[in-house]
Amino acid sequence: MYSARDWREYPRRYRLEAGKCKKCGKILFPARLICPKCGAREFETEMLPDTGKVLTFTVIRTAPSQFTDIAPYAIAIAELTNGVKLTAQLVDCDVNTVKVGMEVRIEFRRVQTDAYSGILSYGYKFVPKWY
């Protein structure tokens, strides 16, 4: 992987930047060039809230090579307080305690290391809100 592929994602992965459609108000994560709801093309940058709740989850037990050292790990889709839904790992808790409806918070963590380039990729993970 060339580093550009990693740093191009910094606004989303490091700063949780979403795009808010100036016409209809829909919030898109990641930001896009055209709004899928109204077709408008002007957006303003808005930071995602850092809390939400789990809509669904799973525990990955057979993991891709870059994640085998942390398996089993939970993956969840959470809906944030502004309605945006996103997928991330849910960490810092026993995977057997994860439940639908569980309240989570977003934290900045190392996500994976590219085997060929050695690039460390950081991004967001969910943690239990009480943590």
Partner 1 sequence: MRDVAVVGVGMTKFGEIWDKSLRDLYVEAALGAIENSGVDHIDSMIVGCMSGGLFVGQEHLGSMLADYLGIKNLPASRVESACASGGLAFRHALIEVASGMSDIVMASGVEKMNDISGDGATYALATAADQEYEVFHGATFPGLYALMAVAHIEKYGTTRDMLAAVAVKNHDNGALNPNAQYPFKITMDTVKSSVMIADPLRILDCSPITDGAAAVILTTVDIAKKLGKPYVKITGSGHATDTIALHSRDDMTTIASATVAADKAFKMAGKTIKDVDFAEVHDCFTIAEIMVMESLGLYAPGKAGEAVLKGETALDGKFPINTSGGLKSKGHPVGATGVAQIVEIYKQLTGQAENGRQLKSNPKVGLAQNMGGSGGSSLVHILEVA
Q: Which residues bind partner 1 (CB under 8 A)?
A: 9, 30, 55-67, 70, 73, 75, 77, 85-89, 100, 111-112, 121, 123, 125
- Return the DSSP state at 96: G
Q: How far is the CB of 104 from partner 1 (least distance, A)?
A: 14
Q: In the complex with partner 1, which residue's Cβ is closer, 9 or 46?
A: 9
- Shortest reach from residue 65's CB to partner 1, in Å: 5
Q: Cβ 30 to partner 1, closest distance in Å? A: 7
In terms of C-beta density within 10 A (0-12 exposed, 13-18 middle, 19 or more buried), how is residue 76 classed? buried
Tokens coding 16: 């949780």
Minimum distance, C-beta of residue 100 to partner 1, in the bound complex (Å): 5
For strands 103-113 and 43-47, give the pairing: unpaired
The residue to which tokens 């993970």 are assigned: 125
Q: Is the dihedral of CA 89, 92, 93, 99 positive or negative?
A: negative
Bridge-partner residues for 58, per DSSP?
75
Rank residues 43 and 57 by Cβ distance to partner 1 and give the closer one.
57
Of 1 and 40, CB closest to partner 1: 1
Spatial separation of the C-alpha atoms in residues 100 and 78, rounded to whole Å:
9
Of 51 and 112, the one with the shorter C-beta distance to partner 1 is 112
